[in-house]
Amino acid sequence: MQDSDTCPSVDVLVIGGGVMGASLATWLRLCDPSVSVALVERDTTWTSASSALSAASIRQQFTTAVNIEISRQSLALLRTAADWLSVEGDRPDLGFYEGGYLILAGAEGAPVLRQAHAIQQAHAADVALFSPAQLHARFPWLHVRDLQLGSLGLSGEGWFDGYRLLSALTAKARHLGVHMVRGEVVSMMRDGRSVRDVRLADGRGWSAGVVVNAAGPWARGVASMAGLEVPVAANRRTVFVLDCPTPLPSCPLIVDTSGFWLRPDGPYFIGGVVPTDDAADLPLEPDLAQFEDSFWPALAHRIPAFEAVKVVRAWAGYYEINTFDHNGLVGLHPESDNFFLMNGFSGHGIQQAPAVGRALAERILTGAYRSLDLAALSPSRVQHGAPLTELAIIG
Ligand SMILES: Cc1cc2nc3c(=O)[nH]c(=O)nc-3n(C[C@H](O)[C@H](O)[C@H](O)COP(=O)(O)OP(=O)(O)OC[C@H]3O[C@@H](n4cnc5c(N)ncnc54)[C@H](O)[C@@H]3O)c2cc1C
């Protein structure tokens, strides 16, 4: 990303150049090349951005109509990324591999998995339920004796190179004429229900017709600069890179009854657990003790081959948790006429970015959702105390 010249006035100013901000900026210019867009990012190496630290996986196994539809559209956009993200003949390869998600349940979780499956079937998601015997036949390396059910995505689920998606979106936005601004937003001026002037730490400023908060785990702090509340917290998640001496043929992304997740990653595996002390704003250092304390025992129980595992390395990133209901907050902030949110995706944001960016761009440009109705993610549900209940929240 390069500094642009000072740009005193733009139609849309997006704060945060992770996948959400970059997707929105790209779609704004794809939909309307006449709209002026500035994308402000303080760290152009994305050292702490969630988008660069993610497990970059996509699933269809949600239980709300809106999340299933977002997945369906994002899936189509990931499959065709080389087309719509190409820049002067350079067709980005996101390395998308459709390996599936396998969500496991014991006696307690089985009714929820059945309920989730019924909803997914009603929305034509390609998901099947497996008995322990069927699981054993398909994945002989899996310990199934304490399981009652497994739910496997047969297509449309898998993983990709999240960093590549982020850089391809950024390159496309730049190519389409988005002003790429390196700097940190430190204050905003509010005039009644309008947020008008945005200031950077180096003193530069803009006035914008529309301001969008795409600041990921830092969304609460950015909104507070405009005197607005957003219920988003930055909660650390550690990802372990594991070397397993035994090959596990056709291993999907596994979500275990104990809460750990695991998936293949090149010659290795990556995975993690939900921390027991899940506090906000912890430093971005991996919590290595988690491995022996909780991850390894559960992993070796479910997949005995992992008894001989070696930890290759680990990293940490922030989940941008919507503390109200763990789903995205997308649309106008209810106390403003021009301050939009795309925040709080709670660990499922990178997969939702392609479709959410397009839908919000259409909403900003035309006043209505077109390709995808995201009204169910409206931030006004917080004000109304009406949470969106999603049964399939992971981590
Ligand atoms: C370990 C881990 C695993 C994950 N796995 C998955 C997964 O498998 N599938 C999935 O869908 N999602 C996953 N996620 C979640 C996903 O990565 C996030 O939902 C998504 O990346 C959020 O994108 P974003 O653009 O909103 O935030 P970010 O990528 O964090 O970008 C926000 C940007 O805003 C910038 N910024 C903040 N404040 C300011 C300011 N004041 N001025 C200027 N710039 C500012 C930051 O520097 C940052 O670059 C995972 C996350 C983690 C941490």
Domains, the chain, in order of start with CATH, read: 9-81+161-231+324-383 (3.50.50.60), 101-156+233-322 (3.30.9.10)
> According to the model, what pLDDT value does residue 393 have?
75
> According to the model, what pLDDT value does residue 191 have?
92
* Residue 331 Cα to ligand 1 middle (Å): 18
Quick one: 48 exposed, middle or buried, by C-beta within 10 A (0-12, 13-18, 19+)? Answer: middle
> According to the model, what pLDDT value does residue 277 have?
84
Q: For the chain (length 395 residues), average pLDDT per consecutive 10?
A: 59 98 98 98 97 97 95 97 97 97 96 95 95 98 98 97 98 98 96 94 95 98 98 98 95 97 97 92 96 97 96 98 97 98 97 98 98 98 95 79
Ligand 1 pocket test target in 13, 20, 50, 351 with most atoms within 8 Å of CB: 50
Ligand 1 pocket: which residues have CB below 6 Å?
15-21, 40-43, 46, 49-51, 53-57, 184-185, 214-218, 222, 237, 239, 317-320, 345, 347-351
The residue with tokens 């704003």 is 281
- Residue 373 token pair: 């109705």
Q: Of 90, 76, 86, 145, give the one whose Cα is nearest residue 302.
A: 145
HEC profile of 187-244:
EEEEECCEEEEEEECCCCEEEEEEEEECCHHHHHHHHHHCCCCCCEEEEEEEEEEEEC
The residue with tokens 């991850």 is 295
Is the separation of the CB atoms in 212 and 13 below 8 Å? yes
DSSP run (H or E) holding 103 = strand 101-105
DSSP run (H or E) holding 50 = helix 50-53
> According to the model, what pLDDT value does residue 8 have?
80
Ligand 1 pocket test target in 350, 390, 393 with most atoms within 8 Å of CB: 350
Is the separation of the CB atoms in 325 and 390 below 8 Å? yes
Helix axes 162-175, 19-31, angle to 10 degrees: 40
Question: How far is Cα 4 from Cα 182, in angstroms, rounded to an integer?
Answer: 8
**pTM of the predicted model as reported, rounded to 2 decimal places:** 0.97
Is the separation of the CB atoms in 256 and 104 below 8 Å? yes
* Residue 386 Cα to ligand 1 middle (Å): 25
Distances (CA, A) of 11 to 32, 98, 184, 211, 356: 12, 38, 19, 9, 19
* Residue 383 Cα to ligand 1 middle (Å): 24
Phi-psi region of 54 (alpha: psi -120 to 50; beta: other; left: phi over 0): beta
The amino acid occupying position 254 is I
Residues in the chain: 395
Counting from 1 in the atom list of ligand 1, the atom nearest the Cα of 46 is 49
Counting from 1 in the atom list of ligand 1, the atom nearest the Cα of 350 is 11
| Among protein residues, the one whose CA lies closest to atom 35 of ligand 1 | 16
Question: How far is Cα 258 from Cα 108, in angstroms, rounded to an integer?
Answer: 12
> According to the model, what pLDDT value does residue 28 have?
98
> According to the model, what pLDDT value does residue 307 have?
95
The residue with tokens 């992304």 is 253
